[in-house]
Chain A
Amino acid sequence: MLLRTELTLLLRARMAMFALILVALLSIAAVAAGMAEVARQRDVIARIAPQQERDLAAIASWVDQGKDPGNAAYYSFHATWDAPEPLAFASLGLRDVAPYILRVRALGLEAQLYDGEAFNPELALPGRFDFAFVLVYLAPLFVIALFHDLVSGEREAGRLRMLDALPGRARRLWVRRVALRGGLLYAALALPLLAGALLSGVPVGQCLAVLGLTGAYLLFWIGLTLLVGRLRWSSVANAATLAGLWLVLTLILPTVAHVAINQAIPVGQGVELSMAQREAVNRAWDIPREETMTRFYAGHPEWRNSPPLPPAFHWKWYFAFHQVGDESVAPRAAAYRNGIEARDRAAQALGWVLPSVGVQAALARLADTDMQAQLAYQDRIRAYHQTLRQFYYRYLFTDTPFGKEDFARTPRFPSS
């Protein structure tokens, strides 16, 4: 009954209604845009298979003439992909700048793993319009708009004394008002998200986690707003202070922290790794071939009984030095990756202090679109590349002819 009165009051406040409708529209737009982008990425991945088939069939038809496994291994590129998780629409994370499809062949992986996708950097620069953006950046502004004058507004209208004088009801009145405004704001934000999640088939646990996260972030800002409200300043001073806090928490501190983290944790340039790998691989042409084979067999004793190299070129030597080249830069590759992980961990840790960062990180983690997801995709490429090598080595090191039917036996990238 009382709640209905409050609701009527709220409905009459034009600005509050306008704000709530706007939040709902923004949330709907962000969810729709995110879902469209995820659908587009799924389409791109679905388009791969037939094109790959055609490409490999063309290679198979001429490799089949000579049946040299080396030609098959050298000329065939194999597709890998990182399909978006159902929740990816809520937080596109790094998926707009890191590749989600990559072709690899059985040569040195370190020269292939860090390749990028064609994308327009000017579009990536401002960031994408997704739910995470609406929640992290815009939702606090609406909280400020709806809550900054909750008490001060009544004071300025001269009604505060009267409200406080209501016998024993004053506290409950404020609780009711906060709950109503907060609840409606939450609904305007979360319902479109929930609809998107249901349409995308997001597991219930994840759904609850995102809804909880959204609620917690809203509560933080509502709490902060009420806290500032307790200082008994004017509505204008409240709004200005809160907007300043928003600026510091969502724009200034994260950018300052980015600089600090990148300064504190150098990753050793990835290009150093590439250059070292190139030296290691190309050196093989200038040293005795047996030296390469000895190193290769030491790491891969299962092929030790392969017949000795003929005087002419043999592909197994070529693939062996690519393998040895990768192995010689393995410590560097690990260090490079550790550096990136350390940076990521530092940002995650910062999330415990900075809610904006924490929510952004948690959403991207739940949606599996963050740096960890990128690195996990690289791990899957590594594992697949390993099986590819093993597959071709069986032919190369036993001089088994590689025909059309063997192309059909080539391991495919496992869909996760």
Chain B
Amino acid sequence: MSAISLIARDELRLMRRNRVAVVAFALLVLLTLAAAFISWSHQRAIAETRARFQAQAAKEFEAQPDRHPHRMVHYGNFIFRPLGPLAAFDPGVDAYTGNSMFLEGHRQNTANFGDVRQSSLLIRFGQLTPAFVLQVIAPLLLIFLGYGAVARERERGTLRQMLVQGVSARQLVAGKLLALAAVAALIGLPAMIAFLLIAGQPDALAGPMAVIALGYAAYLALWAVIVILVSAMMRRGRDALLALLALWAVLVILVPRVAPDIAANAHALPTRLETDIAIQEDLRRLGDSHNPDDPFFTAFKQKMLRQYGVSRVEDLPVNYKGLLAVEGEKLTSRLFDNYADRSFAVQAAQSGLMNGFGMISPTVALRRLSMAAAGTDLDGHHRFLEQAEAYRFAMVQQLNQLQADAVTYADDVAQDAGADTRKRISADHWQAVPEFRFQPAPASDLLRASLPGLLLLLVWLAIAALALIPIARHVQKARR
């Protein structure tokens, strides 16, 4: 044990003396802190703007004057997706999805005004977040600091000396790994402290936060092992450096880029235009509300008349046009749900395929874990879309029901000069429409979604650690 710690201490002392290494390390810490601060202030600004807009939208909705309820169905409502606290660490897809939505009757609108469509092309270079620094840049620093750990000793002939003096290759490899792992811990530490500070609320999200901490620790440890493995395998330091750089370029930069292309080609997503047209066709097949002789709507009318025991719609105790609006929205909404489910299923298949690349690249696995635990992945966005649709449906049906109950049929179909005033109902009703409240995913859901990624990373780490055994044997051969 003492041999291992001696070797580790020696390696660390060497790194401390290397000015370039110290500067690079300091720069990375600075970058992490800067990323954390920028991310945090960005997240606060977003949260503040969205909350302000949400309040403004609610105020405007409630401030509408006396109106026909159907006018309010078309006036609609704006809702905003709030950002969870962990988004300051890993904002995930937030910049790529719209974060506001206009909700109205008969239509399902898209979430609009994502950052990606109102920023310069620089956004496609990646975003400076603590997650980005740890996923992409930290491994590179570990490579620079550790590529020579074993290769250097071999190149200078000191490896043979040590082995002859009785240090075992295992001890040597373990010592070098210990040194690099210590550096990895030091690299991860500022990010984790910043994470704790900016994410706050540790009690509610303790589980996901622990997974993130564990995941990034495993990731950095994995890179430390990989660096030592390659350094021990190669004959010269330069070969080790080039091999590691190539490995990094493939695992961190290339595979995460290729995976989406493969996923997108494997599972084609229907366009919005096609979905819209398909929904319209389905609706026409169901029935034509404009046609008085349409079988579907005639049957609906008969059902209503029977239900209330009258023979004419004029005699109904409720406004038939309101009933029709409720029924129509029910039909369209069911179709929206069907098509949205299909689209979600395709997207889930795409993401599933992409996550499979975590078996080739630990960066993909970590990204999956990180976004899932932070609640900023595709599931988080779908959660918003589903709640938005549920809220839209409830709001529109509440207003349609008002049309059925609070506006008489006679007024609703009247065309005379004073009819417009008689059709309007009191503005108090708008205040009775509840505000949109996004329900964030419970910590247990986030935890469950992030576990596959964590598992994959741990398997990576275990395999890499096991590979150290034959590598140590290989190093031992230098004695001869």
Contacts and interface: CB of A to CB of B under 8 A. Distances in A.
B132 interface: yes
A285 B71 contact: yes
B60 A123 contact: no
B274 interface: yes
Interface residues of A, number: 101
Contacts of B265: 36, 40
Interface string A253-279: 011111101100001011110110011
Given A58-B281, A252-B31, A120 B347 contact: yes
Contacts of B237: 236
7 contacts: A52-B277, A62-B291, A94-B124, A117-B272, A120-B263, A122-B378, A270-B118
A103 interface: yes
Interface in A125-146: 125-129, 133, 137-138, 141, 144-145
Interface stretch (A2-10, A108-116, A179-187): A108-116
A100 B218 CA distance: 41
A145 B42 CA distance: 38
A258 B38 CA distance: 11
Given A94-B121, A138-B249, A255 B126 contact: yes
Contacts of B96: 97, 121, 124-125
A387 interface: no
Contacts of B119: 258, 261-262, 340, 343
B144 A115 contact: no
B450 interface: no
A121 B381 contact: yes
Given A118-B269, A138-B249, A271-B78, A251 B93 contact: no
Contacts of A123: 260, 263-264, 350-351, 354
Contacts of B202: none
Contacts of B136: 251
B66 to A, nearest CB: 9
Interface stretch (A190-198, A224-232, A356-364, A396-404): A356-364
Contact of B274 (A51, A269, A279): A51
Contact of B144 (A116, A243, A256, A282): A243
A44 B276 contact: no
A116 B350 contact: no
A122 B281 contact: no
Interface stretch (B203-211, B250-258, B321-329): B250-258
B260 A267 contact: no
B31, B57, B111, B113 interface centre (most CB from chain A within 10 Å): B113
Given A33-B261, A98-B117, A240-B144, A138 B253 contact: yes
A326 B380 CA distance: 34
Q: Which residue of B102, B115, B121 has the most chain A CB atoms within 10 A of its CB atom?
A: B121
A26 B34 CA distance: 34
Contact of A312 (B258, B263, B415): B415
Given A118-B271, A254-B122, A364-B121, A247 B238 contact: no
A125 B259 CA distance: 11
A371 interface: yes
Nearest to B276: A103
Interface in B334-387: 343, 347, 350-351, 354, 371, 377-378, 381
Interface string A228-251: 000000011101100110010011
B114 A116 contact: yes
Interface in A279-323: 279, 282, 285-286, 311-313
A54 interface: yes
A93 B273 contact: no
Question: Interface on chain B toward A: helix, strand, loop, or mixed SS?
Answer: helix
A220 interface: no
A119 B120 contact: no
Given A94-B121, A126-B260, A340-B118, A247 B140 contact: yes
A116 to B, nearest CB: 4
B125 A254 contact: yes
Contacts of B80: 271
B128 A258 contact: yes
B81 to A, nearest CB: 12
Closest 3 interchain pairs by CB? A347-B120, A121-B93, A254-B125
A250 B102 contact: no
B98 A116 contact: yes
Contact of A138 (B53, B111, B254): B254
B210 to A, nearest CB: 23
B20 to A, nearest CB: 7
Contact of A257 (B31, B92, B113, B122): B122
B260 A58 contact: no
A270 B122 contact: no
Select the residue from B117, B122, B127, B254 with max chain A CB neighbours within 10 A: B122
B288 A62 contact: yes
Interface in B228-268: 237-238, 241-242, 245-246, 249, 253-254, 256-261, 263-265, 268
Contacts of A343: 118-120
A37 interface: yes
Contacts of A93: 121
Given A55-B277, A244-B24, A271-B78, A141 B249 contact: yes
Interface in B107-151: 109-128, 132, 136-137, 140, 144, 148
A116 B241 CA distance: 44
Nearest to B125: A254
Most buried by B among A98, A129, A145, A279: A129
A348 B110 CA distance: 30
A79 B92 CA distance: 32
A149 B238 CA distance: 10
A124 B116 contact: yes
A103 B351 CA distance: 28
A236 B281 contact: no
Given A62-B288, A236-B237, A285-B67, A261 B261 contact: no
Contact of B128 (A101, A137, A256): A256
B44 to A, nearest CB: 13
